[in-house]
Structure 1
Amino acid sequence: MFKNIVKFRKVVSAAVIPVMLGLSGTAFAESDIIELSFSKYLAKRMDRISAIDKQREEVFRDFRRDGSRQAQRPRDRLNNSRFFQTEWANERLIPNLDDYSVPALIEEMMKRGIEEASPDGFNGRIVLDITELRIANFPLAAINSFNSRMKGVVKHYDENNNLIAEHKVWTALVPKFTAGRNYQGRDYAYLTTSGTTRVGPVAAEFTAKALEKIFPDYDAPDLVFLTPADLGI
């Protein structure tokens, strides 16, 4: 397993706040493998975005239901037994809720992809710059929109810091669906209702596209939706 070292620093000369993720272990050299940055607009609001998403993640882990705690109903706990074997995306990537944030979630998705795509080691660096994040019905007007989408640029540098490739990445939600109640596949499982309320689903689609730009022969894990009880299956 990897030991994550996350460093936050402000860049005065550029409209980004990078998040550097250092990875060390048997598969990777001890170096900075992933650099995640946000536009100035998103960086200024990221603490609030993460706080809201973390609150909803806490509710989801209790009720297996999307939304605020005030909106939950006693019968929502039925989803706990209904999906009791499902390996949910956010819990797979960040088991400890105290460690949860939107940047951490995106970093873990990228890290998992790099590990799968390069099992013998990755000599280089990937820079992911997220310039747009919109979530339909997210309870923060700054990123609320008519649909959920992400936009940005992914860059691949070699071990000598030479730019190998640069790709634009854009995605809305184009999920797979499963009728199963207990999903344990390699894709990232979320409830269908989370597509309009949470960051995770669109982040899963976005990171899959970014990874496949860098590793063209790699089939990255992406989004799969399960249906909550009151919507029926």
Structure 2
Amino acid sequence: MADDLKHAKPGTVSTPDRYGDKSLARVQAGPWFIVILLIAACAWLGWRAFFYHEEGDPVGSAMLAFEKQNSLTVFSSRFEVVAESVDKRGVLGVDLLESRQAAVIPATVEYRLDLSNMDRDRFEWNAASETLTVILPALKISRPNLDEAAQTTFTEGTYVSRDASSDLARNNSQQAERKAAAFAKNPQVLAMARSAAKEAVRQNLAIPLQVAGWEDIEVVVRFDGESPPA
């Protein structure tokens, strides 16, 4: 120690290189700081993907999905109806000419859901079981669309005038429309339409709910008047 003091210049004091130690500490700490940030980011992303749910509830997400479409066609039924008409024409109340026409006319009926009035009262959320129940209004049945260009007709009569032919065709069309409307309300056809409607609603809600973070949610769909599933 005495020798060091002898060789030291007057007015100077020998001190350790503290600034160099601090710089070295910063360099060594930099990579560890980046690693910690990466671990924190991965943990946050994992929590966001598997545990975090957006603010709000699945009812709001479902209602938002329905707001984008006021009407949803869920089922279409195509069938054939048979109509038959008789035309009688005569003079002074005496029937002189009688003609008959039978027609087989294809008809199409669509079943639609009116989603414009799907308010919050039509959704029930059970947080414990993560079950969303959707209560649908009754299906709307469209007016039958008759494909008269594809119809098959059978006409009987000695002489069928143009007026008689027009009346027979018109009467058969009216009759076919009434029969098609009645057939569209057949319980078996309605059951198929309701089943298709429920599946369509589930599919329409699947993606919006997944995007909102509700991936494991169960969607139960029923119509007004139907009892909840056991």
Q: Normalised by the shorter chain, which TM-score bucket? A: under 0.3
Q: Tell me: higher relative CO, structure 1 or 2? Use CA pairs within 8 A at least 6 residues apart.
A: 2
- TM-score, with structure 2 as normaliser: 0.21
Higher helix content, 1 or 2: 2
- TM-score, with structure 1 as normaliser: 0.21
